[in-house]
Amino acid sequence: EPEVTQTPSHQVTQMGQEVILRCVPISNHLYFYWYRQILGQKVEFLVSFYNNEISEKSEIFDDQFSVERPDGSNFTLKIRSTKLEDSAMYFCASLRNTEAFFGQGTRLTVV
Partner 1 sequence: SQKIEQNSEALNIQEGKTATLTCNYTNYSPAYLQWYRQDPGRGPVFLLLIRENEKEKRKERLKVTFDTTLKQSLFHITASQPADSATYLCALLSPYNQGGKLIFGQGTELSVKP
Q: How many CA atoms lie within 13 A of 46 on its CB side?
A: 25
Distances (CA, A) of 6 to 15, 36, 62, 71, 75: 22, 13, 22, 16, 9
**Interface with partner 1 by CB under 8 A: which range of 11-19, 49-57, 66-74, 77-85?**
49-57
Q: Which string of DSSP letters, residue by residue, matches 56-111?
A: EE-TT--TTEEEE-TTSS-EEEEESS--GGG-EEEEEEEEETTEEEE---EEEEE-
Near partner 1 by CB under 8 A: residue from 36, 105, 108, 110: 105
Size of the site for partner 1 (CB under 8 A): 25
Decide: is 24 part of the binding site for partner 1 (CB under 8 A): no
Residue 98 in contact with partner 1, rule: CB under 8 A: yes
Stretch that binds partner 1, among 15-23, 47-55, 64-72, 77-85 (CB under 8 A): 47-55
Binding site for partner 1 (CB under 8 A): 4, 31, 33, 35, 41-45, 48, 50, 55-56, 89, 91, 93, 95, 98-105
